[in-house]
Amino acid sequence: MSDIPLVEEALARVATGDPSAAQALLEAGLSAPAPNTANALYDLGRLALALEQPVVALGFLDRALECDSQLSPAHVDRGRTLHRLGRGREAIQAMCRAVAIDPDAHAALNRLRWLLDEGRLRTTSALSRLAQRGLPVASVLDVGASDGQWSLAARRIWPDARYHLVEAFDHWRAPLEATCSAQPGFSHVIAAAGNSDGEVWFYNDPDAPYGGAAFQDQPDGKEQPQKSWKVPQVALATEAERVGLKPPFLIKLDTHGFEVPILEGAEALLSQTNLVVIEVYVFHVHPQALLFHEICAWMAEKGFRPIDLSEPLWRPRDEALWQFDLFFVPADRQEFACNAY
């Protein structure tokens, strides 16, 4: 089955929100006679893991290692798979095995460090560190809210805050309605956030509901009506006034490259904002996207500096750092008065 260029292309398409190629390859591998080479089984395991099918992935990776127990990358992905399945100790053991085989296995070393220090890299840990240093939040604008899990996690840190969840993809309407009905102080709107009220193009593959991004113009090459359509757009400053949110604000953006227009629509709120959490990228995931260092420069012009990070993600094709969440606070915060370690 193994065809490295084909597999890498399929994995790249998963990363950009188009899982169809990887799914087709995986289904072909599942329906055909089982391959008997370690590399072919490893490729099937990688595909299954990228498609969020960890049980299937583990089966292929175990069989790959039966064929070649010295295949270090398979131990790495086996560790990632075990972690997804909640088997943390076994995940660490798998990464250790990869490093024992290849002491220069950077992917394994990076993952091992992350697994051993995972608690500090969680979003709730970063939020807790900020709250412990006396950062108040009265209202949260959660943009790219999906089913509301981020706000539910933040509520453990700021239980008395108001939470307004903004989500463009109608796929999440029912879960958001259920979450907001069950949680006092929660509200939501099905709309994209942008620089003004109106409409905007939105692209999303229905088979990949955690992806999706807004575009000022209809996305080139993505004109399929089932994947690209217009949605309502709201400016965060207007939306905050409409639902009666009070400062100080926390703004969270999981918006896949559309951050600048959203922050432009929140301009009137920024002077009263204590924390901005932005999912930032090392690669261009959107034609208009700023890379993470460009986001830092843009936020510096608005008077914010990064203070923490969480949830780093490495892309499966080459284990390069893909994205992470950066936490920005006003540049006059007391933490920046001290430059000593």
Indicate which CATH number applies to the domain containing 64. Answer: 1.25.40.10
pLDDT at position 44, please?
A: 86
pLDDT at position 222, please?
A: 46
The last residue of one of the domains, among 90, 116, 142, is: 116
Q: 250 with 140: CB under 8 angstroms?
A: yes
Give the DSSP letter of residue 203: E
Buried b (16+ CB within 10 A) or exposed e, 158-197: beebbbbbbbbbebbeebbeebbeeeeebbbbbbbbbbee
pLDDT at position 207, please?
A: 55
Instruction: Reply yes or no on whether the pLDDT at 120 is more than 50.
Output: yes
Of 252 and 191, more confident = 252
**Whether residue 126 sits in one domain with residue 206:** yes
pLDDT at position 223, please?
A: 46
Q: What are phi and psi of 211, to 5 degrees?
A: -90, -150
What count of Cα atoms within 13 Å lies in the side-chain half-sphere of residue 180? 21
pLDDT at position 127, please?
A: 97
How would residue 46 be classed by pLDDT, with cut points 50, 70 and 90? confident
pLDDT at position 67, please?
A: 93
Give the strand order in the sheet containing 139-143: 186-190, 162-167, 139-143, 249-253, 273-281, 321-330, 304-314
Instruction: Reply yes or no on whether the pLDDT at 37 is more than 90.
Output: no
Mean pLDDT over 65-92 rounds to 90
Residues in the chain: 341
pLDDT at position 226, please?
A: 55
Q: 235 with 262: CB under 8 angstroms?
A: no
Of 196 and 63, more confident = 63
Q: 114 with 91: CB under 8 angstroms?
A: no
**Whether residue 156 sits in one domain with residue 51:** no
How would residue 203 be classed by pLDDT, with cut points 50, 70 and 90? low
**Whether residue 163 sits in one domain with residue 105:** no
Is the Cα torsion angle 183, 248, 312, 7 positive or negative in sign? positive
Mean pLDDT over 253-279 rounds to 94
Distance CA 192, CA 32 (A): 43
Mean pLDDT over 26-54 rounds to 80
Domain that holds residue 281: 121-337
CATH number for the domain harbouring residue 322: 3.40.50.150
Which residues, 6+ apart, have CB-to-CB distance to 298 below 8 Å?
260, 263, 290
pLDDT at position 323, please?
A: 93
C-alpha distance from residue 278 to each of 47, 213, 275 (Å): 28, 14, 10
pLDDT at position 220, please?
A: 58
Q: 175 with 190: CB under 8 angstroms?
A: no
Instruction: Reply yes or no on whether the pLDDT at 206 is more than 60.
Output: no
pLDDT at position 17, please?
A: 64
How would residue 155 be classed by pLDDT, with cut points 50, 70 and 90? very high
Q: Enter the tokens of residue 88.
A: 């943390």
Give the percent of the chain with pLDDT over 90: 48
**Whether residue 95 sits in one domain with residue 147:** no
Residue at 299: amino acid letter:
M
Beta bridge partners of 310: 325
Instruction: Reply yes or no on whether the pLDDT at 113 is more than 80.
Output: no
Of 333 and 313, more confident = 333
H or E, element range at 336: none
Q: How many domains does the chain have?
A: 2
Say if residue 184 is preceded by a cis peptide, omega within 30 of 0.
no
**Whether residue 38 sits in one domain with residue 13:** yes
Residue at 14: amino acid letter:
V
Summarize the chain as % helix, strand, coil (round to 5): 45, 20, 35
